[in-house]
Homo-oligomer: A and B are copies of this chain.
């Protein structure tokens, strides 16, 4: 009945404490710290576990992923065939909404330009400044995170539409699949990428995609906002697009290599906002409560929620 925690360097004792509060009475073991019999482990709660460790647990019934993306897990060829549960954390969803709305407003209202003028003590009103109603925000990926941010952007006045791999019910215009991508991009001034990282989406944010974005919009060029995964980015292409003006601006919270190395040329790219992968911070206790709640329901005979579809990879 034990729960095994595998969080690497990511605060294992903080996680132990959080799970201790959320699931009192359950045995909580930390891989690499506590000794354990693999046959005693029924559940694993993991973040980027070492390959092969999960495969060595003969009685494992479910894996709970402690972060928002399951790409690290899916890259393990020895991954056992048990349900993988994604975390759906209201707290993380709201923080991501803050970050996305902030980045759209930063580029729309030209914050970097005005801060630069402020450094030079320059009072210049750089009109015309479009109203939000003239700015088209397009979400790539329209899951829980985008569905939270979209209505806030709509309340601010933005035109919002979305692209997803498969059809689904949405309140906004949805473009679907390869066939719908061109039209989606051509009508997008600010692209907000919240895609999962899968073999299909790796390096999808490249020169070809950027070249498909609207160039007739009110911001002087398209803007790219990515808080998905660094692996979605072709960073050479993004750098060149910022330098050439093919992108009027960008906000990146994630990178191929994190921390972004101090000598990386993206640090000095024009009209780029960099945040250190903290757009949406997971709250340990909220996630532990979520996992404990799922386990309790599962043991009462209910199905697990938010289970990853292996074939699509998220």
A25 → B minimal CB distance (Å): 29
A279 → B minimal CB distance (Å): 9
Nearest neighbor of A135 in chain B, beta-carbon distance = B98
A133 vs B90: C-alpha distance in the bound complex, in angstroms?
12
> At the interface, yes or no: A118 with Cβ under 8 Å from chain B?
yes
> At the interface, yes or no: A289 with Cβ under 8 Å from chain B?
no
Interface residues of A in 231-276 (CB under 8 A from B): 258-260, 262-264, 267, 273-276
Whether the pair A98, B276 counts as a contact (CB closer than 8 A) is no
Chain copies in the assembled complex: 2
Interface readout for A86-121 with B: 1 if CB under 8 Å, 0 if not? 000001001101110110011011011011011001
Nearest neighbor of A277 in chain B, beta-carbon distance = B125
A111 vs B107: C-alpha distance in the bound complex, in angstroms?
13
A281 vs B128: C-alpha distance in the bound complex, in angstroms?
9
Of A71-79, A150-158, A169-177, A218-226, the stretch lying at the interface with chain B is: A150-158
Whether the pair A111, B118 counts as a contact (CB closer than 8 A) is no
> At the interface, yes or no: A278 with Cβ under 8 Å from chain B?
yes
A94 vs B155: C-alpha distance in the bound complex, in angstroms?
9
> At the interface, yes or no: A123 with Cβ under 8 Å from chain B?
yes
> At the interface, yes or no: A68 with Cβ under 8 Å from chain B?
no
A122 / chain B contacts, CB cutoff of 8 Å: 262
> At the interface, yes or no: A208 with Cβ under 8 Å from chain B?
no
> At the interface, yes or no: A132 with Cβ under 8 Å from chain B?
yes
A300 → B minimal CB distance (Å): 30
A111 / chain B contacts, CB cutoff of 8 Å: 102, 106, 111, 273
> At the interface, yes or no: A129 with Cβ under 8 Å from chain B?
yes
Whether the pair B98, A156 counts as a contact (CB closer than 8 A) is yes
Q: With A109-B98, A111-B106 given, is the CB distance from A155 to B157 under 8 Å?
A: no
Q: With A123-B260, A258-B123 given, is the CB distance from A98 to B152 under 8 Å?
A: no
Whether the pair B95, A106 counts as a contact (CB closer than 8 A) is no
> At the interface, yes or no: A127 with Cβ under 8 Å from chain B?
yes
In addition to A102-B111, A127-B278, A129-B278, 14 A-B residue pairs with Cβ atoms within 8 Å of each other are A94-B157, A95-B129, A97-B156, A98-B131, A98-B156, A112-B115, A114-B275, A118-B274, A121-B264, A123-B258, A123-B276, A124-B276, A151-B155, A152-B156
In the complex, 24 of the A-B residue pairs with CB atoms within 8 angstroms, ordered by the A residue number, are A94-B131, A94-B133, A94-B156, A94-B157, A97-B157, A98-B108, A98-B131, A102-B105, A102-B109, A102-B111, A114-B273, A114-B275, A115-B273, A117-B276, A118-B273, A121-B267, A122-B262, A123-B259, A123-B276, A124-B276, A129-B278, A129-B281, A152-B152, A155-B155
